[in-house]
Amino acid sequence: MNAKMWKEIGEVFRLIGSTGDGCRCVLLIGLGKGFCSGIDIADPSLLIDDGDNDEMQVDVARKYLSVRHKILEMQRAFSMIEECAVPVVAAIHGSCIGGGIDLICCADVRICSPSARFGVREVRIGLAADVGTLQRLPKIVGHGSRIKELCYTGEDFYADEAEKLGLVSRVSESEESLFPMAMQICQNISRNSPVAVCGTKLSLNYSRDHSVREGLDHIAAHNAVALMTEDIPISLSAASLGSNAGAQFASLLPHSKL
């Protein structure tokens, strides 16, 4: 994860699903031996970019403001994944370390292969994770003793424990079956009404950070408009047609793009 990647990923996820592109779901994967090995510590512009400013070199307050601004930019970039208009499915193989945990915690659904290895490694290099892990991970798996232990020690944990904790919902039977499993999940999501899926994502994310009462008010306001969608009568009609309902419903909806 270098500075260029961080800038571009925020922009990409800001645009996906918001420009009438027909996208119903995003599959997020890593190429190579693993999903993500974390921050590129060889990129000097990732956090510190003092340039030739002599005042920045000696003034702690100015340096603080510069670094804080960069951290906030990095946080906003990953928040665009969470706020993406459509669901994001992360398929994790091999290592998912440091910033990789920040990244997958922003996804809606996470699955992994048997080889997956996770680690909140920031403490091992003298940092507290600052791009979302300490805020999102406990809301995904709970604030229990084990998750605090993992964050304090930086020790690795593996696919079976990730599933037990609830960080991932499934572990594929083999490395080769991870991608087909992920594609099937994306296709299952994409078969449903995009209005319903979008509303569901909005409500789940909102309700996570608000009271039940506030969540109920939020979905009532959303569905007051969303219930007018033509997808509902089409869906009800298709359901009454029998076993071929799913295929017939899908054929009546606009072409979906994954």
Question: What are the residues whose beta carbons fall under 8 Å from the beta carbon of 42, sequence distance 6 or more?
Answer: none
Tokens of 173: 């039977």
Widest CA span in the chain: 74
Q: Which of 9, 94, 101, 122 is catalytic?
A: 122
Catalytic residue, chosen from 17, 30, 99, 100, is 99
Residue 175 annotated among the catalytic residues of the structure: no
Per the structure block, which two tokens stand in for 82? Answer: 């969470």
Instruction: Please pick, among 30, 97, 101, 102, the residue that the annotation labels catalytic.
Output: 102
| Residue 99 is among the residues annotated as catalytic for this protein | yes
Q: Do 30 and 116 touch, CB atoms closer than 8 A?
A: no
For this structure, is 149 an active site residue?
no
Query: Does residue 232 have an active-site annotation?
Result: no
Active-site position among 43, 50, 130, 156: 130
Catalytic residue among 16, 39, 101, 147: 39
**Residues whose CB falls within 8 Å of the CB of residue 161, separated by 6 or more in sequence, listed in order:** none
Phi, psi of 229 (to 5 degrees): -60, 145
Is residue 40 annotated as a catalytic residue, yes or no? Answer: no
Contact 246, 238 (CB under 8 A): yes
- Residues marked active site are found at 39, 99, 102, 122, 130
